[in-house]
Copies of this chain bind each other. A is one copy, B any other.
């Protein structure tokens, strides 16, 4: 963090849980969708990693803002925004969908939730999908209402998440399948809970509807969580890299196409539906994908923070990619990274070089993701 604090203002929005997060000793934030996301509590990232793998954590992920699309053209609008076919999506289902611009560049990689026919939420990464969606709907003259509802996701992650949530919401919570959701009563309100989250340790996300219920929800989960050894946490960089979970703005941007992000399986190439960027995407496919996101293992202790990408070089010194996120993994006992790598070098096992800050160069090896 280089001694540089974050200057607070209304523009960097607080969440319903920020007071609680501060009570829990948060020591670092980042900003996502104009909103605070905790990044560190009073423990190291490694301590947090081990705890997450063995217990349960409560995460303020309110910054996963929702874009609500409702109206007779809602499904039509969502469908033209993504190459993934949504025609057979069921109510109560979540779907990870790439959003493309006309050049097949990534606008965002949200989770789509189908609440009713022609009623959707896009649970977004860090770009103003609200404005993209509103612009499209205005220009196309579609019959939809688009807004950011007062919904503030709270994630419960880790192997003990199910037992904790069942102790609060009953055994019905166990019936929720991965990437599905059901509604539950909370103090007389109806709340959407999905089995999902930004870790590979399992868990749930409560899409809390209503800012004022935030403190109470946190308290109820916190109190019930004590016997499960709950702590306040946040997306863990070690675990995220290990699991191959990508971050928009870090691993990829609007300059990247979905093939480069390994989103091939989310592109319904067998569907004949129309979507923005279709021509560009087909052209890219025909010409061949030139680079992809890969894992990378490299030495150097301590691993310097990856505040700006580390160039990746061939043994001959040519730039062949970049590490966009990196950190030491105490289980693998190596530095692990996510990196965009040119086709000639992307095979697992290839030896390359990683240029850390201050021109320090270290050897690295290409790895598939997720890391095992």
- Chain A residues proximal to chain B, CB less than 8 Å: 1-12, 14, 22, 26-31, 34, 39-40, 101-102, 107, 126-129, 131-141, 247-250, 276, 305-309, 324-325
CB contact under 8 A between A5 and B34, given known A135-B135, A138-B136: no
For A29, A40, A247, A248, the residue with the greatest tally of chain B CB atoms inside 10 Å of its CB is A29
Contact of A28 among B7, B101, B107, B305 (CB under 8 A): B7
CB contact under 8 A between A250 and B136, given known A3-B27, A34-B126: no
Do B306 and A9 touch (CB < 8 A)?
yes
Do A1 and B6 touch (CB < 8 A)?
yes
Do A27 and B10 touch (CB < 8 A)?
no
Which chain B positions have C-beta within 8 A of A139? 135-141
Taking A7-B30, A102-B134, A107-B131 as known contacts, 5 extra A-B pairs with beta carbons closer than 8 A to each other, sorted by chain A number, are: A9-B307, A10-B250, A11-B250, A12-B31, A30-B31
Which chain B positions have C-beta within 8 A of A309? 10
Do B12 and A28 touch (CB < 8 A)?
no
CB contact under 8 A between A131 and B138, given known A28-B7, A30-B12: no
Offer 8 A-B interface pairs, CB within 8 angstroms, sorted by A. A5-B6, A9-B247, A9-B249, A11-B248, A132-B132, A135-B138, A138-B139, A139-B140
Which chain B positions have C-beta within 8 A of A141? 139
Do B30 and A4 touch (CB < 8 A)?
no
Do B305 and A8 touch (CB < 8 A)?
yes
Which chain B positions have C-beta within 8 A of A134? 101-102, 132, 135
CA distance A9 to B28 in the complex (A): 13
Shortest beta-carbon distance from A313 to chain B in Å: 18
User: Which 5 pairs between the two chains have the least Cβ-Cβ distance?
Assistant: A139-B139, A135-B135, A11-B249, A128-B128, A8-B307
Which chain B positions have C-beta within 8 A of A5? 1, 3-6, 27-29, 40
CB contact under 8 A between A6 and B4, given known A127-B128, A128-B127, A139-B140: yes
CA distance A286 to B132 in the complex (A): 30
CA distance A140 to B306 in the complex (A): 41
CA distance A28 to B137 in the complex (A): 39
Do B39 and A7 touch (CB < 8 A)?
yes
Do B140 and A7 touch (CB < 8 A)?
no
CA distance A2 to B7 in the complex (A): 9
